[in-house]
Amino acid sequence: MPDWNQAIRERLRGLQLEGCREAEIVEELSQHLEDRYAEMVAGGAAEDRAFRSVMEELQDSELLEGLRSARQPVAGEPAGLGASGGAGPLGGLWHDLKVAFRVIRVNPAFSLMVVLLLALGVAGATAIFSVFNGLLLRPFPFPSPIA
């Protein structure tokens, strides 16, 4: 399947969007174009015809006008995490969390396995520390050692 990101970035270049906002738009449009392409190929269209049709959708002038309005922040909408465009230490956190929740929603079995492995790792580290603490870090249970 084609990689849509480069074509989308070229189309958005003239809008001069902030980095985080541009990445969000590229991700959403790429997913939409990928879904349309897969839908057309599954419907029986030839791959080259499906590709041309999807690229025509990307060239739509209404799409560009809608993206121009995306440059201006919506009035009254509070700025969330990552609104600084990646300038601060938490700049991309909001975007990262959205991507993480999207991956969890798409692959719940994989996500469950990751959580279980993390729980097993934390439990193992806790057990090893408990033994180490009991044997080496705490004083012996008698008042004074024989010298």
Tens of pLDDT, residue by residue over 59-87, are: 765 666 666 665 555 444 455 544 555 55
Count CB atoms within 10 A of the CB of residue 124: 10
Residue 49 lies in a domain: yes
pLDDT in tens, 22-50: 777 778 877 887 888 888 888 888 888 88
Tokens representing 126? Answer: 């806790």
pLDDT in tens, 103-131: 888 889 999 999 999 999 999 999 999 99
Residue 141 lies in a domain: no
Residue with tokens 């349309």: 36
Residue 52 lies in a domain: yes
Q: Taking the model in full, what pTM does it have? A: 0.41
Residue 44 lies in a domain: yes
Q: Cβ(34)–Cβ(70) under 8 Å?
A: no
Q: Cβ(58)–Cβ(11) under 8 Å?
A: yes
Give the C-alpha separation, 83 to 104, whole Å.
Answer: 23
> What residue numbers bound the domain in which 34 lies?
1-72
Structural domain tally of the chain? 1
Residue 34 lies in a domain: yes
| Helix%, strand%, coil% for the chain, nearest 5 | 70, 0, 30
Residue 45 lies in a domain: yes
